[in-house]
Amino acid sequence: MRETLTHLTLKRASLQLGVHEQTLRSWEKRGLIRMVRLPGSGYRRVPVTEVERLRNEMSSTQARPAVRLAPPRRDPEALARAVALAETVRLELAGLEENATLDEVMAARRGRAWLS
Amino acid sequence: MVIVDTDVMLLAFAFHRDPRQEANHRFLETVQKRGLVLPIYSLMELLGQLSFNLSPQRLSEWPIWLQDRYSLTILYPATAESQAEAFFQAEFISRPFARMQQYPMPYLDSLILNLAENAPDVEAIITWNARHYRNKTTVDVKTPAEYLG
């Protein structure tokens, strides 16, 4: 009966994940993958569970996710009402810039400088 | 499609003395006929900001004064076949985290870029802060003034 493999060589793990061996070493340094060292030689071995975990994460990152588009109404009556209401909103927001500029508001929202 | 960021729509309603008003207005009036797209995350950010200055009633009318006024299509992530937990993990955690590891950026930027990159036929992302997005996405990024040429 064949033994279940619990650890892979670096080469085999890199082939299964489709990345270079050096990339796996770099991931290990950054704490992104857990490896074990063989007693004596110190060679790396990658737990199969780690390879499976990374494969799942990579596929969920790389797979193109679906999007949904919700279009606006396009009838002239709705547009006329929208233009009038937008003007009202503009007037209601007239005082917004008294406290901050657009760049300051956006910088506060995103946590980074906001300049053209 | 042309995707707009929060600042472009914020400028459409507020900051009337901002020097970019004229270019912003010209951009919106020109491009809305061809179809503008606003990511749901930008929409929520915009409404959050305006919630300090608009009544709850007015805020709830955004599909009229915002979406209909500028013929905006709202871009949502879709769950497709994935289950709720897997969708949540991918949309709000693993994809934005992978992006933040690749290019340091705020969480909201990563959500918006992920959504924009997966929309069909995206011509450009339009923001007044284009320089922060450039080289961090496969999509072309321009300011409204640059887009109008």
Taking the C-alpha atoms of residue B146 and residue B149, their distance in angstroms, rounded to an integer, is 5
Q: Give me the percent of chain A exceeding a pLDDT of 90.
A: 22
Taking the C-alpha atoms of residue B110 and residue B92, their distance in angstroms, rounded to an integer, is 9
Residues 6 or more apart in contact with residue B94 via CB below 8 angstroms? A57, A60, A61
Convert the pLDDT of each residue in B88-143 to its tens digit. 888 899 889 988 888 888 999 999 999 998 888 899 999 999 988 888 888 899 99
User: Of B127, B98, B128, B134, nearest to B2 (Cα)?
Assistant: B127
**Comparing A103 with B61, which gets the higher pLDDT?**
B61
- Structurally, chain B folds into a number of domains equal to 1
CB contact under 8 A, B143 and A116: yes
Q: What is the pLDDT of residue A1?
A: 47
| Helices marked H in A42-75 | 48-62
Chosen for mutation from A96, A98, A103, A112 (greatest number of chain B CBs closer than 10 Å) is: A96
Q: What is the pLDDT of residue A63?
A: 55
Mean of pLDDT over chain A: 83
Taking the C-alpha atoms of residue A11 and residue A29, their distance in angstroms, rounded to an integer, is 17
Q: Which segment, A69-83, A97-111, B38-52, B89-103, is predicted with the most confidence on average? A: B38-52
**What are the boundaries of each domain within chain A?**
7-62, 76-110
How far apart are the CA of A55 and the nearest CA of chain B, in angstroms?
A: 12
CB contact under 8 A, B94 and A114: no
Indicate which CATH number applies to the domain containing B101. 3.40.50.1010
User: Of B140, B141, B126, nearest to B30 (Cα)?
Assistant: B126
CB B95 within 8 A of CB A60: yes
Convert the pLDDT of each residue in B28-50 to its tens digit. 999 988 889 999 999 999 999 99
User: Of B101, B53, B47, nearest to B72 (Cα)?
Assistant: B47
Taking contacts as CB-CB distances below 8 angstroms, the residues of chain A near B10 are: 102, 105-106
- DSSP-derived 3-state class of residue B76: strand
CB contact under 8 A, A60 and B95: yes
CB contact under 8 A, B94 and A61: yes
**Comparing A49 with A16, which gets the higher pLDDT?**
A49
Taking contacts as CB-CB distances below 8 angstroms, the residues of chain A near B89 are: 60
pLDDT of B14 > 70? The answer is yes
Place of tokens 């709705």: A78
**Comparing A38 with A4, which gets the higher pLDDT?**
A38
Q: B19 is in which domain, residue-wise? A: 2-148
**pTM, two decimal places:** 0.73
Q: Does A26 lie at the interface with B, CB-CB under 8 angstroms?
A: no
CATH of A7-62, picked from 1.20.58.760, 1.10.1660.10, 3.40.50.300, 1.20.59.10, is: 1.10.1660.10
